[in-house]
Amino acid sequence: MGMETGQAGQVLDGPGLKAAIAPDLGRIEQAMQDDLTLLAGDMDDLLAEVLHYGLFNGGKRLRPLLSVLCCRLAGGSEMPDDGVDIHRLAIAFEYLHCATLFHDDVIDQAHSRRGRPAVNVAFGETVAILAGDFLHARSMLLMGRGGGMAALEIFCEATTAMVDGEFLQLHNASNYNLAEEDYFAVIMGKTARLIGATCEIGALVAGADMAARKVLQNYGLHLGCAFQIIDDLLDYLGDEAGTGKAVGNDFREGKMTLPLIIAIARAEDHDRNRVLAMLASPQERHTGFAEISALISRYDGFTSARHKAEAIIAQALAQLHCFDQAAVQQDRAVLEGLAYYVLNRNK
């Protein structure tokens, strides 16, 4: 990570940002451990093994962390008077996120996740699906108990949007001349809506008014869109040792992500026809990664996608300008630092 600068002049470098978020990450990890310990007596041993394998494997915990930070930024305390523990509530977002990863890896027939065999490989597809179902159900229970009906509605709307985004991606699967607005409609549902919900629910639990909730929701929506664009870039440009997964999966699966969409829109006819022919052929999708990467680079698809992510992060940061009270400057600086981390991450 490079240097991250807060509006008040505070600078969080990579180690500084890690040190600032370490206490909250520790409490989130402990909340998950405590929750699984609580359930252990009523849980099948195999399910418990799968959950520990899938949950504690180096995840960034970005979603629950954002909820905690936004709660404090909006004026919430560590333990509000009504007894809501924001760290315990926030693990619902990690459970839901991991549930979708379990299911996605089954759908995509993925072999690895974060540098080791995916749950579907280590335990089988049926077990992966059932464990994902369990985490989804548990996440809804935790959200309803901790945040009430208002939080649960936001949470379920975001979950619905994730499914809608996946179906929209399926609908667009054979449209190789996809427009950028169609791509953004997919990633808004698949990724951004949940991250926006984490931020909004944090503010809701803090007792923030609707204006503050929407500002933080917008921060999360922009952050989520940029996160997905960077994810798409890493699928082409990432280091497998750093990302923990093979590069080129999106192209092999025929997924239309932003770098490819930009390149197709700009390409000369013979190059565009070549790309469309490759996309139509499963064999060429599996053998043509180097060729397609070179073509995307030739038409500045990678650079332009990166610039779009930078512009979206600037919009995310602009949402935080209204939080200028001295008491919340540390949390604001961390949220700004996380925005730059999303932009500059390599895994």
Span 75-119, pLDDT tens digits = 887 654 555 799 999 999 999 999 999 999 999 888 888 889 999
Higher-confidence residue of 79 and 28: namely 28
Separation between Cα atoms, residue 303 and residue 53, nearest integer Å: 37
Residue 64 has pLDDT above 60, yes or no: yes
pLDDT at 159 over 50: yes
For domain 11-344, give the fold. Answer: Farnesyl Diphosphate Synthase (1.10.600)
pLDDT greater at residue 158 or residue 76: 158
At 78 the pLDDT is: 61
**Average model confidence (pLDDT) across the chain:** 91
Interatomic CA distance for residues 21 and 82, integer angstroms: 25
**pLDDT at 9 > cutoff 60:** no
pLDDT greater than 80 at residue 16? yes
CA dist 24 to 30, 33, 54, 93, 187, Å?
10, 14, 21, 15, 28
pLDDT at position 244 is 63
Query: Which has the closest alpha carbon to 230: 293, 313, 335, 160?
Result: 313
User: Which of 90, 19, 104 minimizes the C-alpha distance to 61?
Assistant: 90
Percent of the chain whose pLDDT exceeds 90: 77
pLDDT per residue as tens digits for the range 211-262: 999 999 999 999 999 999 999 999 999 887 666 667 898 999 888 999 999 9
346 pLDDT tier (thresholds 50, 70, 90) = confident
In this structure, what token pair is assigned to residue 286?
């599996």
Give mean pLDDT, residues 166-190: 89
pLDDT for residue 14: 83
CA 79 to chain centre: 26
* Token pair recorded at residue 26: 């520790």
Predicted confidence at residue 243, as pLDDT, reads 63
Residues contacting 197, CB < 8 A, separation 6+? 93, 154, 155, 157, 158, 217, 220
Residue-level pLDDT at 292: 97
Whether the pLDDT of residue 4 is over 90: the answer is no
Q: What is the mean pLDDT of residues 279-285?
A: 93
